[in-house]
Structure formats: C-alpha cells, structure tokens
Amino acid sequence: MKPAFLLSVNFFASCSLALVCPFSLLKRAGLLNPEDEAAYDRVAANPSSAEDIFLERHYKKSDSANSGGLIGPRSSDGLLDLPLGGGLLNGVLQSLTGPLQDLDIPTPQIIDLKAIPGDDPDHQFQAPGPTDVRGNCPTLNTLANHGYLSRDGITSFAEAANGISIAYGFDYPLSVFLSALGLMAGGDLISGKYSIGGADSRVPNTIGPAGGIDKHGVFEIDGSITRQDTYFGNNANFILQRWEEYVKIADRNGGLFGAQTQAEDRALRYDNSRATNPEFFAGVKWFAVSHAERVFVYEGLTNGTTPNKPDYANIAPFFLNETFPENWYRRGEAFTLASTLAEALDLFLLQPRELGANEGLNNFVPLELDLSSKTVPQLGCFLVENIFDVVPDQVQPTIADNYELFEGFVKGILAPLVTNDGFFNCPTINFVKPGENAARSENGSQSAHGSPINGAYPGIGIIKPDSEPS
C-alpha cells in the first residue's frame, strides 16, 4: 500500500474526531466544494468511510467524466497513468509537471491549401550562416532556411512540431510524434531544445549529453535515402551518388517519387547496407523511420495542388537546395499518424525485407518480429511501446540514466496520441526498459551544413558530397 494512501485515510479519520479540525474550519468558512463537503460529512458520521471515499476518488477514474475528459494511458487497474502530467484534453496536450514542467507544448494548427512560403516576408530563403547547423533531415533544414524553425538550427519540441504542421500540413498528433522523437533522440528533455544537426553548445546538457537528431540509434538509421550509414562516417551530409540513383529509380517509374519508387529505393539501400555495413541494424525503429521518411516524400513534399504528382520539380529542391519549390502549396488536408503507419506498412510489403542486425559481415541475425501481421492500430501501440527498445539494446546514456523522465514524457505526450481516439486503442502501455548491458553509443556525429546546393548557400561555399563507400 502506498504511503500517500495511508496518510490520506488516517488524516480523514483522525480529523473527523478531533475537536479542532481543518476540515470543519474550512467547511464553516464555506471553502469546501460540494464534493469535499459531502465527503467530510460522510467521514464525520462514519470515520471508516474515509477509505471508501479514497477508493472512489482514486481507483475508479476509468470513465472520462471522472478524469475530466483527459485522455492518456491507463495502468492495469484502470487509472490514468500520467506520472509527469500531460495527456490530451479536447485534442490538446496538457503541460507536464515536476522536472518537465518548463517543456513547451505544441499548439494545434489549422491546415488548408496554402502557398508556402508564399510572399510572407518572414519566411523567405536565407542561406545558413557559419554558425547555423543543418543535419540529416532535408525538410527540417528547409524549414530552418525559411525561418519556420530558428534559422540557427537550434529548435525546440514545440517549435519544430508547429513548424512541420504549418509548412507541410501534418496534423497535431503526427507533428507532436515526430518532434517528440527528435527531442528524445538528441535533445535536452528539460528545456525541450534540440539541434537539427549534431551536438551543439547552444543546447543545454542538463541531464546528459544532447547529441542532436543526427545521433545514431534512436531516430537516425541505416539505409537512409541520401545519407550514408553512421558506420561509414558522417551520417548527415547529402550524398550526390545516392540522390542520382534515387532519381534513376523515379525515372523508371514515370518520373514520380511515389510508393513504387520509394519501395525500390528502400530495398536497394537495405540490400546495400546489409552487404557492406558490419553493424547494419534494422529493428523496430528502422522499420518505422525508413518507411515513414519515404512516405513523407510523396505525402509531404508534393505540391498540394497536384497531390498525385510527386515529380522532380517538387521533390528535388528540398534535397538539392533545401528550399521550397517555386510557387509551392502545402497539402490541403492534414496528413495523419494513422495514414503514415498504414502507408509505411504498404511500402514495406511492396518489397519486404527481414528485420534484424548484422553481427559482422555475412552474419545477419534476424529479429523474431513479424510486423507485417500487425494491424495499423496494433502497429501504433507496438511502436510506442518499443520507443526505447532497440533490440539488441542500443540506447543513449541520457535515456538509460534518466529512464523515469523519458517514461513520463512518453506516457504524457506520446501514449495519449494512440489511446482511445476511436482508431488507436492501446489498452495499457508497457515499455521495455533498456537492459543493463545496453550498448551505450556516446558520441553524435558532427553537424554538417546540409546539402551541396548548386550555389544556393554562397555564404558557406559548396560542400563536396561524400563519396559512397564501396
């Protein structure tokens, strides 16, 4: 039995008998609300009813009326399980508490067909300056070049979530989900800040080293579209050869970067990495990230006026120049987490590959996971439950050393997005805690200045693309 429980019952019981009782004073002063006043009267009449009242209040909150409409994960006894606050109320995430109370919370945006950046003077392209960081996500780099994120590349949980909603038309849950992953991957959970490149002194290391989103293992994966595997070196720089191979596949598919192109490119990258990278790892998050990033190309970067035409004119400027195409519109209908997962699964099934890991070359160890048999709602629950679980254990020290904080964050921010919304309905969320012997990868990759961009970044000169490892 929890100490708080005993304390509460004893307090009620002794109070009801005492001559001077704070509750009787409060009652006389009219300061008890009707519910408390009724409870007081019950306990005054029968001290043993204190325990019943406590149970009613704390252990029977599974209906939303009692939890005030707050949506969140529940423990096996039906109670809301939000150790550090959060939860969704009327579709908006609530603030966190305790050590995470200063974390900024994203705001839902209205999404419709809209020219981005249009003629908005605050959002025109500016090449990054010498101290501005860019990293492995071409579309976050684009947002920073256009001031939808801080132009220095040091963003925050709320800023990045709001930015991708505004610029790409991703809905609130999807935007929150992605930005939460970015923060957990390489940011400072306390201030909510993270670098869209590598480690950076402008991000505080309050609870441990913040490696930036380029940090391998949490969100950064092997077999990316245009970036090389961390094993071979810098994982943030654009590699022209990969881009050219990607374009060649699109050319075979009517010049479109749609699902067929993405599935073929993903298969090519998987096969190449599995054959050449002795540390190639394709686990649960590889599955999610490697397919989602490709779904985002055709669902997020296509002109909103021609949603079925993800062609070179629309896709190339994001990768090559890290800018929006001329006269570009965001999608008119918000893109969702459910659609992301459904389309990711479809992509996977177009060219299925085994999940698993290389333990040295020619020694691929399959994971006993059959994700293809999961329904989309099950997949959502599964992903949230496995957010810390990179099998075989591979986790960054910050997460391992501050597990309760990260767990509180996931329960308060991510789990509510897949709970009880009529589609996702994760019953209870059981995290797999990183093991004792989790491989602790200490260092993030250095920030790079993004793509070699045909002269569009005159301030910092043209960065020579890294060559592909053979």
Ligand X SMILES: *[C@@H]1O[C@H](CO)[C@@H](O)[C@H](O)[C@H]1NC(C)=O
Query: Which of ligand X, ligand HEM, none sits in contact with 267, Cβ below 5 to 8 A by type?
Result: none
What interhelical angle do 259-276 and 337-350 show, nearest 10?
60
Query: Which of ligand X, ligand HEM, none sits in contact with 140, Cβ below 5 to 8 A by type?
Result: ligand HEM
In Å, the largest CA–CA distance within the chain is 87
What interhelical angle do 138-145 and 157-168 show, nearest 10?
90
**For the window 411-450, what string marks contact with ligand HEM as x by the rule CB under 6 A?**
----------------------------------------
Nearest residue to 211 (alpha-carbon basis) of 225, 221, 220, 200: 200
By CB under 6 A, residue 315 contacts ligand HEM: no
Report d(CA 463, CA 446) in Å as an integer.
14
By CB under 6 A, residue 148 contacts ligand HEM: no
Q: Closer CB to ligand X, residue 211 or residue 412?
A: 211
By CB under 6 A, residue 201 contacts ligand X: no
- Long-range contact list for 104-108, CB < 8 A, 24+ apart? 104/156, 104/157, 104/158, 104/159, 104/192, 105/157, 105/158, 106/157, 106/158, 106/161, 106/162, 106/165, 106/172, 106/175, 106/176, 106/179, 107/158, 107/162, 108/165, 108/172
Query: Which of ligand HEM, ligand X, none sits in contact with 321, Cβ below 5 to 8 A by type?
Result: ligand X
Q: Closer CB to ligand X, residue 216 or residue 411?
A: 216
Hey, what are 418's tokens? 């897949």
Q: Closer CB to ligand X, residue 58 or residue 114?
A: 114
Asked if 295 and 232 count as a contact pair (C-beta separation under 8 A), the reply is no
Binding residues among 257-296 for ligand HEM as defined by CB under 6 A: 289, 293, 296
**For the window 155-194, what string marks contact with ligand HEM as x by the rule CB under 6 A?**
-----x---x---x-x-------xx-xx------------
> Which one of 108, 153, 317, 377 is in contact with ligand X (CB under 6 A)?
317
User: Which residues, 6+ apart, have CB-to-CB distance to 349 below 8 Å?
Assistant: 372
Nearest residue to 281 (alpha-carbon basis) of 187, 200, 395: 395
What interhelical angle do 3-17 and 49-59 show, nearest 10?
140
> Which one of 197, 211, 217, 325 is in contact with ligand X (CB under 6 A)?
325
**For the window 406-445, what string marks contact with ligand X as x by the rule CB under 6 A?**
------------------------------------xx--
- Which residue ranges make up the site for ligand HEM (CB under 6 A)? 136-140, 160, 164, 168, 170, 178-179, 181-182, 213, 219-221, 224-227, 289, 293, 296-297, 300-301
Contacts with ligand X by CB under 6 A lie at: 303, 305, 313-314, 316-317, 320-321, 325-329, 442-443, 454-456
